[in-house]
Structure 1
Amino acid sequence: MKKRTQLGFVMSAAALAFGSASVNAAELEITVTNATKGIYFTPLIVASHDSDLHMFRTGESATPELEAMAEGGDISDLASLIGNAGGVVVENPAGGILDPGSATTFMMNSGDHGYLSLSAMLLPTNDGFVGLDSWKIPTEAGTYKATLRSYDAGTEANDELASSMPNPPFITFGSGGSGVETSVTNDKVHVHPGNLGDSDSAGGISDLDNSSHRWLNPVATITIVVK
């Protein structure tokens, strides 16, 4: 049995689609696919938790733990925060970077928690991340598929300059960009507008290549099999 929804929409839509009853120790098989052409995902953090705990919230300021993930790919503080609050956490199921077009599949026992969240930084971006916020875990066994949006943590200007973001060896940056933005225009977590980039590898406004680093939502797909 397959059910489809857009997880980028508000949680209430998911709750209406899947019901509001709590789930009890659901065994989940989760597949996350990087659906972009040239954007990489840093190590994923996936968590099941109660309704009063959130990995992130659109329209609200990013926590320091979310900022560390969104700007540098560091999930350790988020993992500690959620784990200490009683959530179930899966760290780095892909065993490192999730390349464009690649997928990772892993098992997770949600315990007695009713909600699922995930995030990972998008490279190259200033503070962009793929995210799933408090998706209601279905009580009915079956296969559930959806697309995932990217979000901006609102903690750093999207200048798209190599000096402002991680520089892994598998990404080729340009140089000499003047900067797409000079200041933060929205300091709350919000849907990411995507990279702009340019075609000038030695100047222009961005150090990103618009033929490979430009993207729009959605950026990922997720399949969840509830056993």
Structure 2
Amino acid sequence: MNKRTQISLVISSAMLAFGAAQVQAAELEVTVTNATKGIYFTPILAAAHDSSLFMFRTGETASSEVESMAEGGDISGLSGVIANAGGVVVENPAAGILNPGVATTFDISTGDLEYLSLGAMLLPTNDGFVGLDSWKIPTQAGTYKATLNGYDAGTEANDELAGSMPNPPFITFGAGGTGVETAVSNAKVHIHPGNIGDGDAAGGISDLDSSSHRWLNPVATITIVVK
């Protein structure tokens, strides 16, 4: 075998190996960490999809399914829409609430789908959610990290009153607040400004505790291992 043939074989083998790595890159290991001090994530929905789908878009009106997720933590409608359109979904990988400072890890087989999205309600908020919108899945194997922001669905006024949001037993609410907002100030999906809260458990403007329920973006970190 001459040197030219040997070189050609080496190049061909390398290209085949690279091609195999590209195919195997459809297997993802995803770790989501709640990076907040006192905010909880409701059951998470993760989805792989093509470019014709998206979970949410900033600057656009939230779908009724995103509204259900952002106001009540219900991911069933959003999951159904994505699955029926050919997406791959992973529901509730944390098996319930993801507490502050806690991480959850799950696998997702994306096939030939090119994008990854994720969402979960932020508690306590009126219509806040943590989100990842149409992240392009790399074709090269490796570990990729990003931070995730909290978004406002724009579907409910941020009055921060206990009667306007879910009241799980692990969150202590105040009472008698007059309300931070009385009307929706931005009816499109946008970056959430965070809770305001106050220090008055029996009055004030908010039923949230400013010492534990205030937060700034980002609210989560995500690590994606492309295999």
Unaligned residue ranges in structure 1 (runs of 5+): 1-21
- For the aligned residues, what is the CA RMSD? 1.1
Q: TM-score, normalised by structure 2?
A: 0.89
Post-superposition shift, 1:137?
A: 0.1
Q: For the residues of structure 2 that align with 1:28 and 1:199, how far apart are their CA atoms?
A: 43
Is the contact between residue 25 and residue 140 of structure 2 (CA under 8 Å) also seen in structure 1?
no
Quick one: percent identity of the two aligned structures? 79
Q: Residues 49 and 173 of structure 1: is their aligned pair in 2 closer, same or farther, counting only changes over 3 Å?
A: same
Aligned equivalent of 1:70: 70
Q: For the residues of structure 1 that align with 2:197 and 2:59, how far apart are their CA atoms?
A: 26
One-letter amino acid matched to 1:146: A
- The reply to whether residue 224 of structure 1 matches residue 224 of structure 2 is yes
Aligned equivalent of 1:133: 133
Aligned equivalent of 1:152: 152
Structure 1 residue runs of 4+, over 2 Å off?
22-25
Residues 1-227 of structure 1 aligned to structure 2 (within 5 Å): 26-227=26-227
Query: What does the per-residue CA deviation read over 1:16-63, in whole Å, with 9 as the maximum and x for residues that have no partner?
Result: xxxxxx977610000000000000000000000001100000000000
Aligned residues: 206
Is the contact between residue 23 and residue 113 of structure 1 (CA under 8 Å) also seen in structure 2?
no
Is the contact between residue 34 and residue 98 of structure 2 (CA under 8 Å) also seen in structure 1?
yes
Unaligned residue ranges in structure 2 (runs of 5+): 1-21
Q: For the residues of structure 1 that align with 2:80 and 2:112, how far apart are their CA atoms?
A: 19
Q: Which structure shows the higher helix fraction? A: 2
Q: For the residues of structure 1 that align with 2:91 and 2:179, how far apart are their CA atoms?
A: 33
Q: For the residues of structure 2 that align with 1:111 and 1:69, how far apart are their CA atoms?
A: 26
Q: For the residues of structure 2 that align with 1:172 and 1:42, how far apart are their CA atoms?
A: 16
Structure with the greater alpha carbon radius of gyration: 2
Is the contact between residue 159 and residue 179 of structure 1 (CA under 8 Å) also seen in structure 2?
yes
Query: What does the per-residue CA deviation read over 1:116-136, in whole Å, with 9 as the maximum and x for residues that have no partner?
Result: 000000000000000000000
Q: For the residues of structure 2 that align with 1:43 and 1:132, how far apart are their CA atoms?
A: 15
Q: TM-score, normalised by structure 1?
A: 0.89
**DSSP 3-state at the match of 2:177:** coil
